[in-house]
Chain A
């Protein structure tokens, strides 16, 4: 790769790569994100490449594997251009037909098309799929157009021209003003004005300034950042470089979870390729600006998603947060001014520079601009990554894009914002999704996790789940968080086991308040949200556990038991074979029985029974 000496070199290269891209008439794009890989996309991709060669289409057809497209549940998936034909759930056996029919003969293979679970009809093109049609895919859209392992693909779409424009014709102060005017707010959960943060950092005196990309996405149920880093690492690097120029930094760090090996690999590869072109390193594009990025691997602690804890971890210490009255924009990494933003925030920056602050500010609501990516998961028909304009309602996301409940059940709640967020009932689904509305309703947008729960979920169990998580992840520095969460968990456990009392619910609310005011960082400050929101909207479930000693959803193990209905049972013995605890005994002649003392009420036997003879009560 030749080093790009100036802006003209970059423009010429982008043009050349862009026109080469336009020349390729037929393209097969396959998603190779982590989820599709888990569904076996790699063997299919290899088969497609081999088949293209075998059928003599090399040179005519461009094949690429990309990062996540978002519709994870339908993987392995392919998009074929021209025609925007969308094939879902591909298998190696389908490849021959795909190539011979669609690529050679321009025929659509009906059986490979996606079937909309709501209408039951086949959908021919990607654009027409309801899951995609209702989205505004500003960031995710690029994921489907480029191979994250090849910088040329990013350049062919005009990549790094935002950086070039910034370096050659904009002053650092103007960059900050543009970002401020766009109204961009931090996508990591806090929602602080990105422009204001940059300005504060720029003004702070220090020997060195640093920028950090927070890719320690630890929220359970959220994976937007993983997919951006995996699918379009250069957008993040370019955003960081623009930010570094604006605040006067020469060094940046990407702090990424070790649980995301593919993201690590792609971002490391991207940094290397950017170096080769001279888009990172000394005197970028022949200017005075020098900037480098290092990837640092997180040690797997949820609390390190908090900025001060993350910086402590970068300094080789345990990831304990500190009081935030000393701002990290002034005293951050190594006590120097440090600007930390999350992956999605950085990825938005090149778009804002390219299209202008106004373009960005047109989208969204009054105080929450642009689009936001959500991880729509749980008990909903279409699961995956969803990008919508700020201000879309929860109902639009869950029903229009998500397709509503699975298996004809009723949707009961949606959990937004991870362990810091809360559970909102169906009656609140008309709320607009933005930073402020969700907060007022007792939840928060957080980084963008959206876990849908149907009537098979017990909300007390959900509260217990989050408290267990938070107890495990609390770093232990603040007493209120360390002890308070444990005590809240004790109470909720009592409720789940049917031995709670009504007074305990008041105590729970008291404790929630204490934990939130007495803890330093957001983990403790928001730890009570899952409890408070479930108490607010689903109090009757708590009361049923306490007063009737029953779990309405039939989830809490202590309040249910299983029996085998002798009339329905055909003595096949599958339940006994499948019970991991060997709690079912008997034989084909005398029938089978569940030993209540050994049984842990895991419910595995219910799933294994073909006759539905195991009854939960």
Chain B
């Protein structure tokens, strides 16, 4: 792990009490999870007990202690999405990728998460893949989307190998 990237995030932080949260969010953004060494570094530089840093990392949903896959599939399970069939979307993902919420596929391609509401309730059910919102989702549309991402990934991989 590149600690210089963590140091860059920590630069100039520490004057406000909420800086520790903001730093952890930036680390999460940079590495897509909170590596142990990054948390240690944060604790040391901001002079916050390591156990407090770990407690924050555990408490807030924004943080992941395990590396995330290359693609992040977030199924919204808000009330509007729930009554419009979000459960089926969870089933589709679980069936197709064989991983449930909070898990990553063995090949490191997909991490699946659920979110309690993304505030796009009028378009329910909603799925977010790599930051892109997909409205009025159906299991069929989701299946095709996942297959397409897999296909694009495979093509890119092939181009890389050939090059």
Contact = CB atoms under 8 A, between A and B. Distances in A.
Contacts of B77: 220, 469
A47 interface: no
B55 A297 contact: no
A300 B60 contact: yes
Contact of A220 (B16, B56, B62, B79): B79
Interface string A590-617: 0000000000101110011000000000
B94 A580 contact: yes
B95 interface: yes
Nearest to B94: A580
B32 interface: no
B133 A37 contact: yes
Contacts of B84: 378-379
Interface string A306-344: 000000011111110000000000000010000000000
B152 interface: no
Interface stretch (B1-9, B85-93, B155-163): B85-93
A428 interface: no
Contacts of B55: 318
A603 B88 CA distance: 7
Interface in B98-149: 115-124, 126, 131, 133-135, 138-140, 143
Given A318-B55, A607-B140, A221 B88 contact: no
A539 interface: no
Contacts of A259: 115, 117-119
Interface stretch (A201-209, A357-365, A449-457): A449-457
A316 B19 contact: yes
A465 B119 contact: no
Contacts of B80: 220-221, 375, 377-378, 383, 451
B83 interface: yes
Contact of B122 (A72, A301, A472): A72
A222 B117 contact: yes
Given A220-B77, A316-B17, A34 B92 contact: no
Contacts of A39: 123, 135
Contact of A314 (B18, B78, B121): B18
Contact of B91 (A72, A314, A600): A600
A92 interface: no
A219 to B, nearest CB: 7
A538 to B, nearest CB: 15
A457 B59 contact: no
B25 A297 contact: yes
B65 interface: no
B116 A218 contact: yes
B25 A220 contact: no
Given A221-B80, A318-B55, A580 B96 contact: yes
B79 A451 contact: yes
A221 B117 contact: yes
B61 to A, nearest CB: 4
Given A222-B117, A465-B79, A334 B17 contact: yes
A223 B120 contact: yes
A466 B80 CA distance: 12
A104 B139 CA distance: 43
Contacts of A375: 80, 121-122
B45 interface: no
Contacts of A377: 79-80, 121-122, 124
A506 B122 CA distance: 37
A610 to B, nearest CB: 12
B132 to A, nearest CB: 8
* Interface secondary structure of B, over-half rule: helix
A426 to B, nearest CB: 16
A520 interface: no
B59 A580 contact: no
Max chain A Cβ within 10 angstroms of own Cβ: one of B96, B115, B131, B133: B133
B63 interface: yes
Interface in A54-73: 72-73
Given A221-B78, A258-B62, A608-B140, A38 B120 contact: yes
Contact of A580 (B87, B92, B124, B126): B92
Interface in A486-518: none
A577 to B, nearest CB: 9
A153 interface: no
A578 B108 CA distance: 24
Interface string A117-128: 000000000000
A493 to B, nearest CB: 15
A267 B31 CA distance: 26
Given A607-B139, A607-B140, A608-B140, A299 B123 contact: no
B73 interface: no
A465 B84 CA distance: 13
A418 B123 CA distance: 18
Nearest to A294: B16
A542 interface: no
Contacts of A578: 139-140, 143
Interface string A379-416: 10001110000000000000000000000000000010
B154 interface: no
Contacts of A226: 119
Contacts of A301: 59-61
Nearest to B60: A299
A472 B102 CA distance: 13
A257 to B, nearest CB: 8
A35 interface: yes
A301 B115 CA distance: 11
Given A582-B95, A602-B87, A603-B88, 4 more contacts: A261-B131, A318-B56, A451-B121, A578-B139
Closest 10 CB pairs of A and B: A580-B95, A299-B60, A223-B119, A72-B122, A220-B78, A38-B133, A300-B61, A602-B91, A221-B79, A377-B80
22 contacts: A35-B122, A219-B117, A220-B117, A223-B121, A226-B119, A258-B25, A258-B62, A298-B62, A302-B116, A313-B18, A313-B21, A317-B56, A318-B56, A375-B122, A377-B124, A383-B122, A465-B79, A578-B140, A602-B87, A602-B88, A603-B88, A604-B91
Interface of B: 16-22, 24-25, 48, 52, 55-56, 59-63, 77-84, 87-88, 91-96, 115-124, 126, 131, 133-135, 138-140, 143
Interface of A: 34-35, 37-39, 72-73, 217-223, 226-227, 258-261, 294, 296-302, 313-319, 334, 375, 377-379, 383-385, 415, 418, 449, 451, 453, 457, 462, 465-466, 469, 472-473, 475, 578-582, 600, 602-604, 607-608
